[in-house]
Structure 1
Amino acid sequence: METVLLFIVGILIVLVGLVLSIGLHEIGHLVPAKRFGVKVGQYMIGFGPTLFSRQKGETEYGVKAIPLGGYISMSGMFPPQQTVKVGEDALESHARSSTTSVFQTLVQDTKKASADTIDDDSRTFYRLAVPKRIVIMLGGPVMNLLIAIVLTGVVLCGFGTQQVSTTVGSVSECVLPATSTATSCPADATRSPGAAAGLAAGDTILSIDGTRISSWDQSTAIIQKAAGKTLSFLVERNGARVTLAVTPIRTERYVTDAAGNVVTDSAGKKETQEVGFVGIGSAYERVQQPVTAVLPAVGTNIADVVTLIVHLPERLVGVAKAAFGGGTRDANGPVSVVGVGIMAGQIASTNSVPIVDRISYLVGLMASLNVALFTFNLIPLMPLDGGHVAGAIIEGVRRFFAKLFGRRDPGPVDIAKAVPLTIAVSVILGAMSLLLIYADLFKPISLG
């Protein structure tokens, strides 16, 4: 029962974090929009039916039933339809011929809906200077980036990260070759040098043969080169210093690269080598990182998301195979918000993990979610924020060259013409979300 409750708590934490992230994202749009004088009719978190709302000034603030997004409604997001001058009057051209295409109808309907929000043309979004429009549209993603930086700082500088220490975490009772599949020591197995010498979990290695040990890799390198040679281990045990004589034996171990991955030969067989072996494993300790480590960590996270987006089509194929076939989910592959919640529930309900580690993981998960929101929203396609930014940049370039060559101002870029593309992108995103949600529900990524 406790495990189930913790699982639910993990999901609720992510849900609350998601709603707050969305809310702050929209505030990132709202504040500069109001600052630049744009009329904002609505500020909404979520989609679908409105659960509750409150009118404050000219803006309605509210929460909707489906907390998977949000929006602010700005006056005049798109330039109104062209008008025909008749004397001093301007008559809006609404006539649609029988040959008007479906796409043209969509564009006209979008422009009309935008025009209906205008009661003061001087306070419209499309009238703003290009830099101000870019600031408004980047405000949301930048807010997610700032959230990610703060949460990453909490994880690295507050909780710290788990790192290999110079303390012994485990001692093997016997020696088994790397290719052995045994899960316990056979009766005729050779006792490990570490156990024979009296090394115990919790011993901190201070020096080996007089060489001061500052990292676990350093001790491993010394041991692997000393097969058959007796080494003097100076360890700290319960506050006292103890000297032990340890003689590594020669045994077969897999060859690993710098990243710790097992090296294979041209035939795909795992390579082995004979090295000195003591039979001890390191303990991990939580080490707080300097503030200077935060931005590089966020940058690495952004790069990972960009790589994921670039390879998204093939990754989605893998998700589909896992969801509808017998494959397994890639632990580093795409997940939906539902998947993020399930992962949060898994880690929150894992009693074998210390509570500090669980909290750190959940905070880091929210940081990664905000990095994803930041990066994904910068894709230069409507209806994402990056699509509006791209439209503003194109308009700025057109006006720059028009002014440079003494031509007439070409006016605002009519990004409403991209509505068909917007619908196509929305359909694709919707299909992708449904696939990921299905996979996360019936073939979730396991953290165990």
Structure 2
Amino acid sequence: MTVLLYTLGVVVFAVAILASIGLHELGHMIPAKAFGGKVTQYFIGFGPTVWSKQVGETEYGVKAIPLGGYVKIVGMLPPGAADLADGVEVDADGNQVVKVRKSNTGMFTQLISDARAAEWETITPADSGRLFYKMPWWKKVIVMGGGPTVNILIAFGIFVGVFATYGNAGDPAIETTVGEVSACVKPAEESGKVCTPEELAKNPTPAYQAGIEAGDRMVSFNGVAITSWDQMQALVKKNGTAKASVVVERDGEQLTFQTTTVVRPPDKVGEKADKTVGFLGVTPRTHPTTGGVLYTLDQMGTMTVDVVKALGTLPAKVWGVAQAIVGVKERDPQGPVSIVGGGRLAGETASHEEIPVKQKMISLLMLVAGFNFFIGMFNFVPLLPLDGGHIAGALWEALRRGWARVRRRPDPGYVDVAKLLPVAYVVGLAILVMGVVLIVGDLVVPVHLES
């Protein structure tokens, strides 16, 4: 049964991610076609083609390696002036045809020229008005931003559904009801450990000794009405080692307990205890915070900041995974994982015997949402070959042309993203290497579900 549940979790996650990839590519293809662009290919995956079908001018299909997808939009790269063989030719029907030279001097110029030549070999005179680079800048932004926006919308849809019903477990609401009573006073690093009879006899917590129980709602402390757990904590700390009168509500009845708060032992070895800080020995009951659209937008704003920070440290964290692979250090359980790692976590969640079915479903949904949100944000990074690189090029084109109009200068023309292809290859190689490291790490030193 455990193996079946594990497999089911992996399959559900894999299907969800493949569906997200397909929708991402639709986010590019649909607006491209709506704006008159020509899309010749729509594929999920990379490598050898497993299946494909031609529908109109577009070939739809699936490839062998399901780690991404792409759409082929005609005319992404404009012809460069230095790459024109004999300028613009005119065919027998009077249509202009661009001939791109395939030979240049210099490694980078050759790289750019080869890319242009490969692009323009598939372009016919009839495509002249449908080329992507000729679109207005705002259409380019919509086409290239459509993919990652779809991922973010998928994440938003899942988040808002979970937060509005089950709640956000990552943002727990703290009640004034006691969730747990510590039996004996222990340093913070030993909290959760079972008290020995000796510890219980020698150093019981005030709450345990007084008879306060889990489920009791705190009503007042030394005559001060309790309105929040933070307020109660402050009152307890301020009380030091003095006597305390605690009123709780239990089964609809108010009970009063007389006790004396104590000072908790130092949290670290060698650290001096603050003799003015009181300690009662209770922790609050919490529940996931619920909220609708505005709450979800607020939470996603915080997530955006966290993801931007994570992207900035991603190379260093991947290097940490590489070190863990060769046994130099332990793998960070909070570090990045690949889709393979996500599948393993989904399988462990589905097969975990102590997690209720409802919680399993929520966890799987949040895992899929988290991956979609990260993929969307990652693709907005303004570097080629990512979608954000094309968006940055379109925005730069708008700025440059707008500034020329203000200054009454000649139109500078389209931004030539082909000139940034060397950067695109370097970035693409870096992404490939990081992806391989993460996949190997998820196979050799995987991150496991926390117990």
> What range is the shorter-chain TM-score in?
0.7 to 0.9
- The answer to whether the aligner puts 1:170 opposite 2:177 as a matched pair is no
Do the aligned partners of 1:176 and 1:189 also contact (CA within 8 Å) in 2?
A: no
Shift of 1:135: 1.3
Q: Secondary structure at the match of 2:253?
A: strand
Distance 1:320 1:179, change over 3 A: closer
- The answer to whether the aligner puts 1:148 opposite 2:158 as a matched pair is no
Distance 1:403 1:96, change over 3 A: same
- The answer to whether the aligner puts 1:100 opposite 2:101 as a matched pair is no
- The answer to whether the aligner puts 1:224 opposite 2:225 as a matched pair is no
Q: Matches of 1:422 and 1:30 in 2, distance apart?
A: 21
1:400-411 to 2 correspondence within 5 Å?
A: 400-411=402-413
For residue 247 of structure 2, the aligned residue among 230, 233, 237 is 233
Q: Matches of 1:246 and 1:292 in 2, distance apart?
A: 44
Identity over aligned residues, as a percent? 40
Counterpart AA for 1:375: M
- The answer to whether the aligner puts 1:130 opposite 2:158 as a matched pair is no
- The answer to whether the aligner puts 1:243 opposite 2:250 as a matched pair is no
> Bigger shift: 380-389 or 349-358?
349-358
Do the aligned partners of 1:173 and 1:192 also contact (CA within 8 Å) in 2?
A: yes
Partner of 1:259: none
| Deviations 1:394-444, CA, capped at 9 Å, x for gaps | 333333344445544333232223222222221111111111112222222
Partner of 2:8: 9
Distance 1:75 1:95, change over 3 A: closer
Q: Which runs of 5+ in 2 are unaligned?
A: none
| Deviations 1:251-305, CA, capped at 9 Å, x for gaps | 32457xxxxxxxx8xxx96553343333323222233124321112111111111
Partner of 1:347: 349
Q: Matches of 2:88 and 2:283 in 1, distance apart?
A: 87
Counterpart AA for 2:159: T
Shift of 1:307: 0.8
Distance 1:318 1:38, change over 3 A: same
Do the aligned partners of 1:167 and 1:202 also contact (CA within 8 Å) in 2?
A: yes
Q: Matches of 1:156 and 1:390 in 2, distance apart?
A: 33
> Bigger shift: 36-45 or 143-152?
143-152
Distance 1:92 1:161, change over 3 A: closer
Counterpart AA for 1:370: N
Q: Matches of 2:64 and 2:190 in 1, distance apart?
A: 56
Shift of 1:7: 2.9
Partner of 2:399: 397
For residue 208 of structure 1, the aligned residue among 215, 221, 246 is 221
Distance 1:63 1:411, change over 3 A: same
Q: Matches of 1:379 and 1:179 in 2, distance apart?
A: 40
Partner of 2:205: 192
Distance 1:346 1:270, change over 3 A: farther
Do the aligned partners of 1:76 and 1:117 also contact (CA within 8 Å) in 2?
A: no
> Bigger shift: 114-123 or 346-355?
346-355
Shift of 1:366: 2.1
> Bigger shift: 182-191 or 430-439?
182-191
Partner of 1:319: 321
Normalised to the residue count of structure 1, the TM-score between the two structures is 0.86
> Bigger shift: 349-358 or 268-277?
268-277
Q: Matches of 2:89 and 2:163 in 1, distance apart?
A: 68
Shift of 1:383: 1.0
Aligned residues: 433
For residue 418 of structure 1, the aligned residue among 417, 420, 429 is 420
- The answer to whether the aligner puts 1:369 opposite 2:371 as a matched pair is yes
Q: Matches of 1:87 and 1:36 in 2, distance apart?
A: 27
- The answer to whether the aligner puts 1:159 opposite 2:166 as a matched pair is yes
Q: Secondary structure at the match of 1:250?
A: coil
> Bigger shift: 209-218 or 287-296?
209-218
Q: Secondary structure at the match of 2:262?
A: strand
Q: Matches of 2:288 and 2:152 in 1, distance apart?
A: 26
For residue 339 of structure 2, the aligned residue among 337, 344, 364 is 337
Q: Matches of 2:375 and 2:419 in 1, distance apart?
A: 26
Partner of 2:120: 115
Distance 1:48 1:356, change over 3 A: same
Distance 1:322 1:208, change over 3 A: same
Counterpart AA for 2:84: Q
Partner of 1:387: 389
Aligned-pair Cα RMSD in Å: 2.8
Q: Secondary structure at the match of 1:327?
A: coil
Normalised to the residue count of structure 2, the TM-score between the two structures is 0.86
Shift of 1:243: 0.5
Q: Matches of 1:430 and 1:179 in 2, distance apart?
A: 41
Do the aligned partners of 1:197 and 1:244 also contact (CA within 8 Å) in 2?
A: no
Q: Secondary structure at the match of 2:257?
A: strand
Q: Which runs of 5+ in 1 are unaligned?
A: 256-263
Counterpart AA for 1:360: I
Shift of 1:140: 1.0
